[in-house]
Amino acid sequence: MPTPPKAPTEPAKGFDERLKALEAERAVRPSVVANMGQGYRFLAEVIGGVLMGAGFGWLIDYFAKTAPFGLVIGLFAGSGLSIWVAVKSAMRMSKDEMAKAGPLPSVPDDEDED
């Protein structure tokens, strides 16, 4: 019967350094999953606004017997509302990212050229 291999007595060389480098790299770059979550939220806001507008327009048509007018107005209102919400959301995300990044570095003036 073969003998099982012996466990190494010392840890792999450089493992701690590689682990620290990997943790530092992950701390610096943003998480892909978080960015995907923001994208899916953005998409859901846009699609949800259009569908909610269409739904309310259909309800108005159903109860008021106004054929396609409620649906068309609901689609336009839902589209406009979803665009407004998307722009506000994008502005908020942009403001948050700018706050994380900090101030921009200053560029020295070049006084030699006049």
More confident residue, 109 or 16: 16
Local confidence band at 56 (pLDDT 50, 70, 90 cut-offs): very high
Considering the entire predicted model, what is its pTM? 0.59
Q: What is the mean pLDDT of residues 19-25?
A: 80
In this predicted model, what pLDDT tens digit does every residue of 63-109 receive, in sequence order?
998 888 999 999 999 999 999 998 998 899 889 888 887 787 777 76
Angle, helices 32-64/69-101, rounded to nearest 10 degrees: 160
